[in-house]
């Protein structure tokens, strides 16, 4: 992938033609131009990315029998084979990337063999050389990328044999330098990628020994431009990961909600729920990578323009030739990702600035890049060295120039020009025009027009400067310093050190060591061990440990601190600023303009035009086949054009051609061939083979094996083993 015959020079990434030179990544049809990755013949058709069979199957990544329908990237065979990237073994939930048989163990990212097919990442050999992505051992299995001997140890992605060939991805030593990819132990094992030297906290990818400092991601020269990938001017600001704007949009790796801070990449408000992985459009549900406005069309992969800029990741300016992968000069800056100097060799991905000796201490390197005075700044993505002048401040992906007038301020993806009227304000992905009436307000992915009736608004993607007036607030992506005044607060993406004062707090992205003091805790990204106390619980992307007081509740990406006043409430990716008129309401990615007629309603990724007939309705990410017995159902990610014959129906990513035999039916990402036997059925990402015994069933991301005992059951991203005790 790197040396004389790899992904860049000599021959090619796959076969004697090369991903870049000769005949391009695919063959005769540039991976980008001519027919491109997305247009013309797609990234898949022609000669396909893998072997005579689309990257997915069927016809192309998106159309034909595309990325979604037929056999697509998700169903049938998928990106992996046998076990879809999403279904069968969810990439994130189920047995996928995170739970069950993680992305790392059991079934691995792909399957028991190579990255894609029976052997290597591409064909019967390996991603690059005559063996495998690494050598004699697949990129994933055996001694693979992560398990066996791990991505790092043994034959590792870094040591022993190197990322690609007998040397290393970059230099004669490891992928980085005789030291693991991240710290002196390894990206995942040893001092785990997450714990001990955490990938995020402690000494991990960000602080202490950084993913970049120490020896940098490449060698003597940062991954981007003489400024560490994370420190110095950070991964996002300064000389941004791409160009003064960030990896993708004008705000950061994603937009207003960083990959590290802001909203977890996986839980909370992130890659999957709430605040989409990219831009208020779910990466998976709603209008995102899979449904609604697909990953490529409509809103594109990133921002209504293309994968990166107005020229798309593919056309106009090739990913490889022409101008560069992302900006007008190359993948990152100065020289293209591949040509000229290359992504890795020559001068690195960007230009060479000051090269810091490898024998310098981490602190010296940081000081050299930041300037000694910056060492006391308060960063979020990195541990903060707060001073008396900013005791509560929480800096995010960019350094903050705080003043006495903003001691508690927390700046986000964009610098904030705070005033005396917003001392506690916490701006998110968009600058907020706060007023005296909204001193504690926290805006989310969309601007909020808060009123005096919502003084306790909860801030999301960034640390909150809570006051006695917000004791129950829920902080997200950063650790919270909870006090007796905030006993129910819930921590997210980082491990929580729970105490007796936080018995209900829930840790997300990492496993929780629950005690008798937190029997009701709700774990997110990982499987939960439910008990008889939660017979009616409805697990979402993650299993919930519900209690008798919330037996119908369905928690989402963030923990809910439910009270007697909102036993059925279901909060989503953002905290809700409930008022007396909407005690049970659950707001999602967009603010809801609720009325007295819909006090309990919960809108999803798109505003709903509810009627008097659906006062309690709450639409979810999947369409529902409502009947007279389901007046509280909820609609999905797209607006529905309902008619008299389908007043409660919910349409999904594709318009449905309903007939008299399926007046309430709701079709999802794939067209359904409903029959008289399943008039109310609602199919999701996979076609359902419903029977007379499950007329009201509605399957989700995975096929459900429903029985007569669960006719109304609705399974989520993980298969549920329901019993007679939970028919609904």
pLDDT tens digits, 281-338? 223 222 222 222 222 222 222 222 222 222 222 222 222 222 222 222 222 222 222 2
Report the alpha-carbon distance of residue 251 to residue 413 in Å, rounded. Answer: 5
The confidence score (pLDDT) of residue 535 equals 29
Tell me which residue of 460, 414, 420, 417 sits closest to 441, measured CA to CA.
460
Q: Rounded mean pLDDT of 641-658?
A: 32
Report the alpha-carbon distance of residue 479 to residue 697 in Å, rounded. Answer: 40
Average pLDDT, the chain: 29
CB 424 within 8 A of CB 407: no
The confidence score (pLDDT) of residue 303 equals 27
Q: Is residue 431 part of a domain?
A: no
CB 235 within 8 A of CB 397: yes
pLDDT band at 443 (very low <50, low <70, confident <90, very high): very low
The confidence score (pLDDT) of residue 34 equals 27
Q: Is residue 694 part of a domain?
A: yes
CB 64 within 8 A of CB 73: no
The confidence score (pLDDT) of residue 630 equals 30
Give the list of residues 6+ apart from residue 310 with CB closer than 8 angstroms, or none: none
Domains identified in the chain, total number: 1
For the stretch 379-435, pLDDT in tens is: 222 223 333 333 333 333 223 333 333 333 333 322 233 333 333 333 332 223 333
CB 606 within 8 A of CB 287: yes
Give the list of residues 6+ apart from residue 233 with CB closer than 8 angstroms, or none: 227, 239, 369
Rg (CA), the chain: 25
Within 242-374, residue ranges assigned H as helices are: 362-370
For the stretch 42-91, pLDDT in tens is: 232 222 222 222 232 222 232 222 222 222 222 222 222 223 332 222 23
Strand partners, 333: 335
CB 247 within 8 A of CB 236: yes
The confidence score (pLDDT) of residue 385 equals 33
Q: Is residue 576 part of a domain?
A: no
pLDDT band at 689 (very low <50, low <70, confident <90, very high): very low
Give the list of residues 6+ apart from residue 271 with CB closer than 8 angstroms, or none: 92, 264, 265, 277, 283, 284
CB 438 within 8 A of CB 457: yes
pLDDT band at 658 (very low <50, low <70, confident <90, very high): very low
Q: Is residue 574 part of a domain?
A: no
The confidence score (pLDDT) of residue 579 equals 31
The confidence score (pLDDT) of residue 659 equals 35
CB 309 within 8 A of CB 315: no
Query: pLDDT higher for 212 or 442?
Result: 442
The confidence score (pLDDT) of residue 112 equals 27
Rama region for 230: left / alpha / beta (φ>0; ψ in -120 to 50; rest) = alpha
Q: Which domain holds residue 723?
A: 616-637+646-654+662-728
Give the list of residues 6+ apart from residue 216 with CB closer than 8 angstroms, or none: 176, 222, 223, 228, 229
Q: Is residue 728 part of a domain?
A: yes
**Alpha-carbon dihedral sign for residues 272, 76, 639, 555:** negative
As a residue count, the chain comes to: 728
Pick the most confident of 167-171, 343-347, 528-532: 528-532
Structure tokens at 586: 């659950």
The confidence score (pLDDT) of residue 578 equals 31
Query: What residue has token string 């490449």?
Result: 218
The confidence score (pLDDT) of residue 311 equals 25
CB 291 within 8 A of CB 297: no
Report the alpha-carbon distance of residue 53 to residue 44 in Å, rounded. Answer: 8
Q: Is residue 254 part of a domain?
A: no
Q: Is residue 68 part of a domain?
A: no
CA dihedral 679→685→691→696, nearest 10 degrees, is -50
CB 233 within 8 A of CB 198: no
Q: Is residue 667 part of a domain?
A: yes
Structure tokens at 89: 């073994």
Query: What residue has token string 């960034």?
Result: 462
The confidence score (pLDDT) of residue 109 equals 29
Query: What residue has token string 């008396």?
Result: 388
């Amino acid at each position: 992938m790197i040396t004389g015959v790899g992904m860049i020079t000599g021959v090619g990434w796959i076969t004697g033609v090369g991903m870049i030179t000769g005949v391009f990544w695919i063959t005769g049809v540039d991976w980008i131009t001519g027919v491109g990755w997305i247009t013309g013949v797609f990234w898949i058709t022609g000669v396909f990315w893998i072997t005579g069979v689309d990257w997915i199957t069927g016809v192309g990544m998106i159309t034909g029998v595309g990325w979604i329908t037929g056999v697509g990237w998700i169903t049938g065979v998928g990106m992996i084979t046998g076990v879809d990237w999403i279904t069968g073994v969810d990439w994130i939930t189920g047995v996928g990337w995170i739970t069950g048989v993680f992305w790392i163990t059991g079934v691995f990212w792909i399957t028991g063999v190579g990255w894609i097919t029976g052997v290597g990442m591409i064909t019967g050999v390996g991603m690059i050389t005559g063996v495998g992505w690494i050598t004699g051992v697949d990129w994933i299995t055996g001694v693979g990328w992560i398990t066996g001997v791990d991505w790092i140890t043994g034959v590792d992605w870094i040591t022993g044999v190197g990322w690609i060939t007998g040397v290393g991805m970059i230099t004669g030593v490891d992928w980085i330098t005789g030291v693991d990819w991240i710290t002196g132990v390894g990206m995942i094992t040893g001092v785990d990628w997450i714990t001990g030297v955490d990938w995020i906290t402690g000494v991990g990818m960000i602080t202490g020994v950084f993913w970049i400092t120490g020896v940098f991601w490449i060698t003597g020269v940062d991954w981007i431009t003489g400024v560490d990938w994370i420190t110095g001017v950070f991964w996002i600001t300064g000389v941004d990961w791409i160009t003064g704007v960030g990896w993708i949009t004008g705000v950061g790796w994603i937009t207003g909600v960083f990959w590290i801070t802001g909203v977890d990449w996986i839980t909370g408000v992130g890659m999957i729920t709430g605040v989409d992985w990219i831009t208020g459009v779910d990466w998976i549900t709603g209008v995102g990578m899979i449904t609604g406005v697909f990953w490529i069309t409509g809103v594109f992969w990133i921002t209504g323009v293309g994968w990166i800029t107005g020229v798309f990741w593919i056309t106009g300016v090739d990913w490889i030739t022409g101008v560069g992968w992302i900006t007008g000069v190359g993948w990152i800056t100065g020289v293209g990702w591949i040509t000229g100097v290359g992504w890795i060799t020559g001068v690195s991905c960007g230009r060479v600035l000051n090269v810091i000796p490898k024998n310098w201490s981490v602190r010296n390197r940081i000081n050299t890049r930041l300037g000694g005075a910056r060492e006391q700044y308060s960063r979020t993505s990195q541990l903060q060295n707060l001073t008396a002048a900013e005791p509560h401040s929480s800096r995010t992906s960019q350094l903050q120039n705080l003043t006495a007038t903003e001691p508690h301020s927390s700046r986000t993806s964009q610098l904030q020009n705070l005033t005396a009227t917003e001392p506690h304000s916490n701006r998110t992905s968009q600058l907020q025009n706060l007023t005296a009436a909204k001193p504690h307000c926290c805006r989310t992915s969309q601007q909020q027009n808060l009123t005096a009736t919502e003084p306790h608004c909860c801030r999301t993607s960034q640390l909150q400067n809570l006051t006695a007036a917000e004791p129950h607030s829920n902080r997200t992506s950063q650790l919270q310093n909870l006090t007796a005044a905030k006993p129910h607060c819930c921590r997210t993406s980082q491990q929580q050190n729970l105490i007796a004062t936080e018995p209900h707090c829930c840790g997300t992205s990492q496993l929780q060591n629950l005690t008798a003091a937190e029997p009701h805790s709700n774990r997110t990204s990982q499987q939960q061990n439910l008990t008889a106390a939660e017979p009616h619980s409805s697990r979402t992307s993650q299993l919930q440990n519900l209690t008798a007081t919330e037996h119908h509740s369905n928690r989402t990406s963030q923990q809910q601190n439910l009270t007697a006043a909102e036993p059925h409430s279901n909060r989503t990716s953002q905290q809700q600023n409930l008022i007396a008129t909407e005690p049970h309401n659950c707001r999602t990615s967009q603010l809801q303009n609720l009325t007295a007629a819909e006090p309990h309603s919960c809108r999803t990724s798109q505003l709903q035009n509810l009627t008097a007939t659906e006062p309690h309705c709450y639409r979810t990410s999947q369409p529902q086949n409502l009947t007279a017995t389901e007046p509280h159902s909820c609609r999905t990610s797209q607006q529905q054009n309902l008619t008299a014959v389908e007043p409660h129906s919910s349409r999904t990513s594709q318009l449905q051609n309903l007939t008299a035999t399926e007046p309430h039916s709701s079709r999802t990402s794939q067209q359904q061939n409903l029959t008289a036997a399943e008039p109310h059925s609602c199919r999701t990402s996979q076609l359902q083979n419903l029977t007379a015994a499950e007329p009201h069933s509605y399957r989700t991301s995975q096929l459900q094996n429903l029985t007569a005992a669960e006719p109304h059951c609705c399974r989520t991203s993980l298969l549920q083993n329901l019993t007679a005790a939970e028919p609904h």
